Structures are given as C-alpha cells and as structure tokens.
Amino acid sequence: MAHFLEIDHVTKTFAVNGAAGIHVIDDVSMQVAEGEVVVFLGPSGCGKSTLMRMVGGLETPTSGRIMLEGREVKGPDRQKGMVFQSYSSFPWLKVIDNVRFGLKFRSDLSAKEKDRIARHYLQMVGLSEFEDYWVNRISGGMRQRVAIARTFAAGPDILLMDEPFGALDAQNREFLQLQLRGLCLKERKTVIFVTHDVEEAAFLADRIFVFSARPAKILEEIAICDLLPQSRDLQLRESDTFFRLRNRILGLTRTQALRSEQLEVKGP
C-alpha cells in the first residue's frame, strides 16, 4: 500500500547568484501515515523548514520527489495548509473573517456552510467570543489560534506548521501545545510541525525526526507514540518518563546546535 506522505531521496540546493550554492537538504527519505503528528526537530537554519515547505509545494526539491496521497507534490494548493510563526493572520480582517478566509476560494460550499464551518473551528480554539475583534488587538497566542482555526477550516489533507509558537511566552506556548495536540487527535489530521524546542517536539509528536545541522540529514527517528500515551496533559510534562525522554533528545541535538550556529556565520 502506498503511504499517505512519502518523501523520497529529496535533496535541496539553493542557487546563489546563479551558481550552485548552499546545500540545505541531503538525501532525506521518510514515510508518514495518515493522521500522524510528525515533528521535524533540528537547530535553527538546518533546513527542516525548507523540507516542510517542499511538502507544501512552496519550494521544489533539487532532486528526489514528494508524494502526497499517491500524487507528486507540484505546487501549493488547498490540500496543504500552512501556519506560520509571524504574519499568520490578516490584520485588515476581523477574527471570524480570518477564519472564513480559509474557505473563501471554495466554490463547492454555500456562504452559510462556510460560515458554519468557520464558527465551528473558532469555537474549537476557544475564541468564539472574540470573533468581532481585530487580530492586532488580541494576544499573540490568540492570533496563532486564529491561524490554526483558519487552517483547520480550510479542510486540508495535511497541516504544515512552521514554528507557530516560536514567538510566544512559555506559559502560552504550553497551553497552545496542549490545545493543538487535542485538536489533532480529535480531527485525526496529519500534521508536520517544525520546531527547535525539544519539549515542544516531545509533547506534540507521534514521531520525531531529529535533523542534523545543514545540510539536513535525519539523525534519528523517535517513535514518541511508543513512549508516551496518545492523549497528553500538563501532568505528563512533569513525569519522569517525559523528563528522561527530553534529556535523551537534548543530548542528540546539543552538538548539532553548536555546529549549526557556526554555519550561520557568513564571514567577517
């Protein structure tokens, strides 16, 4: 049987001034099952976001290919929803209209149906009472929830999240991780979540792919679903199991983070 998502020997090299330049991703292959929450964990600038963007059709692999539901990914579309860290919602639209935007270009639904779906997901992220607020006037965490609601409302086959909680404070982040994990289980949505935060990765993931510094290679694959229960709460974060898991992953990432930092330096 074909896999839901298959990344097949993908490499990526960004051209610099026309010449072959930065080698970002080095021969990565993986398979993802439907309904799985997969986290790409790696140091900043390692290329994990680029890999995720290729799944979304926003970048093209230099070689190799990406198959989603048996079809090769050729470009962005409604099947592959995105949540970004910043500029994740439109300031000129109110909260509810931002969520509705996810359905705006669907001709197969009536306006009434779109409205119903939008309100449903707004409620799922707990923002119903803020539907008439401008997004600039709600908190950063709420803005990310608006973006999540919009993306769920659009009904994508796969959800791609690029460090969506990276700019939030620690308490807010924990809360949103909890909410997102619950939402993913409930909706049985396939998710790729990119982060460099080890605890975030361990808490959210069914499976973690730990990436090396640039060019990104898969260092290790950790089946979190074998180590932690399906549904997770804040107590789990305090448990010894979680603590040991976190330390083990931290050990893996530490050296990569140092290497990655040196790679960021472009010159004097």
Partner 1 sequence: MEGGWRSLITFRGAERRGTMMMLGILSFIIVLVLWWGAAALKLLPPQYLPSPGAVVVRFYDLLVKYGFIGDIGISIFRVWTAFLISAAMAIPFGIMMSSFPIVNGMSQSLIDFIRYLPVPALVPLTIIWLGIGEASKIALLWLGTFFQLVLLVADDARRVPREYIEIGLTTGAKPRHILGSIVLPAMLPSMVDNLRITLGWCWTYLIIAEIVAADSGIGYVIMSARRYVKTDEVMAGILAIGIIGLATDQAIRWLHRRWFIYLT
SS3 helix, strand, coil % of the chain, rounded to 5?
40, 25, 35
In the complex, least distance from residue 47 CB atom to partner 1, rounded to whole angstroms: 18
Does position 196 interact with partner 1 (CB under 8 A)? The reply is: no
Count helices and strands (H / E) in the chain.
8, 10
Nearer to partner 1, 150 or 232 (CB): 150
Min CB(154)–partner 1 separation in Å? 5
Which residues ranging from 103 to 122 are in contact with partner 1 (CB under 8 A)?
103-106
Task: Return the residues of window 39-98 that contact partner 1 according to CB under 8 A.
Answer: 56-58, 75-78, 80-82, 84, 86-88, 90-92
Please select the residue that binds partner 1; options are 15, 123, 126, 134, rule is CB under 8 A: 134
Q: Which residues pair with 211 in a beta bridge?
A: 218
Residue 34 sits in the site that holds partner 1 (CB under 8 A): no
Distance CA 200, CA 223 (A): 15
d(Cα 46, Cα 105) in Å, to the nearest integer? 34
If you write DSSP's letter for every residue of 205-268 in order, what string do you get?
Answer: -SEEEEEPSSSB-EEEEE-GGGTS-SS--HHHHHSHHHHHHHHHHHHHHHHHHHHHHHHH----
Q: Which is nearer to partner 1, 193 or 242 (CB)?
A: 193
Per CB under 8 A, which of residues 153..192 are in contact with partner 1? 154, 156, 160
Residue 14 as a binder of partner 1 (CB under 8 A): the answer is no
Binding site for partner 1 (CB under 8 A): 56-58, 75-78, 80-82, 84, 86-88, 90-92, 101-106, 134-137, 150, 154, 156, 160
